[in-house]
Structure 1
Amino acid sequence: MDASAPKPATAGPVPTGYFRWEPEEDDVLICRAVRNETHDVKTFVLAPRQDRQFEFVSGQFMTFEFEINGETIQRCYTISSPPTRRDTVTITVKRVPGGPVSNWLHDEFQPGMMLKATVPMGEFTWSGMQDTKYLFLSGGSGITPMMAMTRAAYDLALISDIEFVHAARSPDDIIFRDELSFMGRRNHWIKPTFICEKDSPFERWSGIRGRFDHAKLQVICPDFKERVVFVCGPAPFMKAVRELFVEAGFDMSRYHQESFNFESFTEEAQEQIAEATEAITTDVKVFQLEFTKTGRTVECPEGLTVLEAARRAGIRVPSSCSKGLCGTCKSKLTSGSVEMKHGGGIRQREIDAGMALLCCSRPKSDLVIER
């Protein structure tokens, strides 16, 4: 066999003789360690309370439940550790100014403390792909899913050609800088490149400078059209990168992106709103949605999701995947019924207790919602 020929990337064999962590049995994880990555980014190492191991694929996320100041908040975080290290999972969190969860994690969450979590979910992964050449593009904390993939490739000594490009504000903001450089030195198939916009107070950046553009892409990865591309980062970063690849004539069926944006609408949601607005002038039913915590009552045309009706009325409801996967928008229905087609982000016992995912729930009657 030609040793220079790359092999497909896989998640690796599943070990035998282990007990898989099942959140249906015990959904509580305990913090084992907290690691400082940069001045505003920390990694949290989590493990089951019992002798269990995690089963997931690189790039997936988990939804966590936090009790902060008497309020229950759900957030999604991508697993930054690889599936080759099954005894723990890690999440890597950037402090967001004013963010209730990220600031609580940075300031309060310590080894020995516990939180609840759901089973790993998500489709942003290279698992099962037969390709041999990849281009990972990340900005800021969007590095985490690609880091999980790269760590798996390193642990398994996969012969997978990975161009890993990470954009940061300054050298001080490069997450996993030392580890990526180390993996690149030890495995020549892993080739990290860092791009910074400016110098740090105590380091003058001598590498590629500025924002990612077509010229930098050609220099870093001239064979990019031969690769499968994974992109994750802030919405403006992903928008610019996507436009760049479209303009370059890239085969977008080989382009994959992931982002959890709590503020923006998905294209599908925008279409739903447009269709529902038009439907108001017809004989379509319109239901009343009462949100108890905000004291607001809004109208929801039949066929529109509860989440989009709330957003359309200016009510801010935390959400993430908009596909019924993550559980971020999980809410209690104290009155009324919905049609809900979810993707695994809610358990049957929660449904039986009157909970619903607002992103994939369409009202069948007037509703009273604890939000």
Structure 2
Amino acid sequence: MKTRVKIERIIQETREAYTLVLENAPSIAQYLPGQFLNFFLQINGQEVVRQYSFSSSSFIGEPPSVTIKKVAGGLASNFIGEQLRAGDEVSVSSPNGRFTTTFGVARRVLMVAGGSGVTPLYAMMKSILAQEPESQVTLLYANRSSESIIFKKELDHLERKYTGRLEVRHFLSAEDAGLEKQENTVFRKLNRFDFQKYVDAYWKENPEVFICGPEALMNLSVESLTILGLSADQIKMEAFSGMPGIESRDDKPEAYTQVEIKDFNGEPITFMAESNQSVLKSALDAGIRLPHSCKESMCGACKVRLVFGQLNMKTNYALPDDEVEQGYVLLCSGFPQSEKLVLQYG
């Protein structure tokens, strides 16, 4: 469901990153730290949909805010940063996403971020520290230079406020140490030995891990932590951006699949899907507007249940394991693998 909300303020965080402080509208007020909003933007006469994570925490009374980093050639991030102003309204969805946390007993938490991937982690960090007085958090944050560190002053303030409970370690890959030594900064890339030091120190406490950043950083983190003995249940990840080429590929011969979808607006529909592209893209090409939003396997808006046939999800950041076991699939990343598919909503 779309709703219009006003931009109350725009805060310039770094040269490329900025935060939109939104009005506390009822439609977005009940969000969890780590979740995101879909933004529905009208750019050059077309609707462009993008997802941006909350950087705020409702648990400490902050207004709903999302933080966005401009990327070279980025259609939406540059449009918002250059064209929108405080007082403008934007169309957004209700809060989405499963990359979040619940609160309870004291725990040891490791967070690993790269670039703007720190945004949802920053929201969760503030919430955990406020809600769980005995919990401890460590953030390993990778950037190219000190100028690209988002929330630098805020992170320094939180370290002072939560002395002994929060540790932030910066890794700067394209900057020399210079004359000024910084205790919490390492002038190199994050590597597997950094994870080993952490796990060696805290493995008895069964640490919980949250990772968000570029694909290479996430792969390094998961591989290192898994080798060091952490289980899949201890590690939660969020893709920092959509995976390239998710809608189509050309590594197999062209073939077609008959797709039947039940209970779409109360009636079944059928169409032919190409094997070299996602089922969602085939449907849209055929003029059938199935429910969807991000097209990046993150929001779960295109979720259906597979009743018959074979479908391969290229990526999945939205469905938990229990829903996958129940047969649910994402059409935006699902490629047909059989002559016929039967799918069902609900």
Tell me the TM-score normalised to structure 1 length. Answer: 0.66
Q: Shift of residue 222 of structure 1?
A: 3.6
The alignment yields a C-alpha RMSD, in angstroms, of 4.1
Q: Shift of residue 219 of structure 1?
A: 4.0
User: For 2:239 and 2:4, how far apart are their aligned partners in 1?
Assistant: 26
Of residues 159, 175, 183 in structure 1, which corresponds to 2:158? Answer: 183
What SS does the corresponding residue of 2:29 show, helix, strand or coil?
coil
Q: Shift of residue 280 of structure 1?
A: 4.7
Of residues 135, 144, 153 in structure 1, which corresponds to 2:110? Answer: 135
Q: CA deviation digits over 1:30-81, x for unaligned, max 9? A: 0011111111111110115x67770121111111111122221110111110
Structure 2 counterpart of 1:349: none
What SS does the corresponding residue of 1:216 show, helix, strand or coil?
helix
Verify the 8 A CA contact 2:51 2:294 in the aligned structure 1.
no
Q: Name the CA shift for 1:56/1:101 in 2 (closer, same or farther; >3 Å).
A: same
Structure 2 counterpart of 1:81: 56
Structure 2 counterpart of 1:145: 120
User: For 2:245 and 2:128, how far apart are their aligned partners in 1?
Assistant: 34
Tell me the TM-score normalised to structure 2 length. Answer: 0.71
Of residues 198, 201, 208 in structure 2, which corresponds to 1:223? Answer: 201
State whether structure 2 residue 140 is matched by structure 1 residue 160: no
Q: Shift of residue 279 of structure 1?
A: 11
Percent pairwise identity:
22
State whether structure 2 residue 100 is matched by structure 1 residue 120: no
Verify the 8 A CA contact 1:273 1:304 in the aligned structure 2.
no
Q: Name the CA shift for 1:115/1:227 in 2 (closer, same or farther; >3 Å).
A: same
The amino acid across from 1:169 in the alignment is: R
Q: Shift of residue 107 of structure 1?
A: 1.1
Q: Name the CA shift for 1:92/1:213 in 2 (closer, same or farther; >3 Å).
A: same
Structure 2 counterpart of 1:306: 280
Verify the 8 A CA contact 1:76 1:260 in the aligned structure 2.
no
User: For 2:199 and 2:177, how far apart are their aligned partners in 1?
Assistant: 30
What SS does the corresponding residue of 1:165 show, helix, strand or coil?
strand
Structure 1 counterpart of 2:221: 241
State whether structure 2 residue 201 is matched by structure 1 residue 256: no
Q: Which is further off, 253-262 or 202-211? A: 202-211
Structure 2: gaps of 5 or more residues: 261-271, 286-291, 304-317, 319-329, 341-346
What SS does the corresponding residue of 1:359 show, helix, strand or coil?
coil
State whether structure 2 residue 5 is matched by structure 1 residue 35: no
What SS does the corresponding residue of 1:261 show, helix, strand or coil?
coil
The amino acid across from 1:254 in the alignment is: Q
Q: Name the CA shift for 1:77/1:205 in 2 (closer, same or farther; >3 Å).
A: farther
State whether structure 2 residue 41 is matched by structure 1 residue 63: no
User: For 2:13 and 2:176, how far apart are their aligned partners in 1?
Assistant: 16
Structure 1: gaps of 5 or more residues: 1-22, 288-297, 312-316, 330-344, 346-356, 366-371
User: For 1:260 and 1:109, how far apart are their aligned partners in 2?
Assistant: 23
User: For 2:222 and 2:69, how far apart are their aligned partners in 1?
Assistant: 24
Q: Name the CA shift for 1:96/1:326 in 2 (closer, same or farther; >3 Å).
A: farther
User: For 1:151 and 1:101, how far apart are their aligned partners in 2?
Assistant: 28
User: For 2:8 and 2:27, how far apart are their aligned partners in 1?
Assistant: 14
Verify the 8 A CA contact 2:115 2:213 in the aligned structure 1.
yes
Verify the 8 A CA contact 1:166 1:193 in the aligned structure 2.
yes
Structure 2 counterpart of 1:285: 258
Verify the 8 A CA contact 1:199 1:205 in the aligned structure 2.
no
What SS does the corresponding residue of 1:231 show, helix, strand or coil?
strand
Q: Shift of residue 212 of structure 1?
A: 1.0
What SS does the corresponding residue of 1:77 show, helix, strand or coil?
strand
Verify the 8 A CA contact 1:54 1:89 in the aligned structure 2.
yes
State whether structure 2 residue 173 is matched by structure 1 residue 197: yes
Verify the 8 A CA contact 2:5 2:23 in the aligned structure 1.
yes
Q: Name the CA shift for 1:221/1:324 in 2 (closer, same or farther; >3 Å).
A: closer
Verify the 8 A CA contact 1:53 1:87 in the aligned structure 2.
no
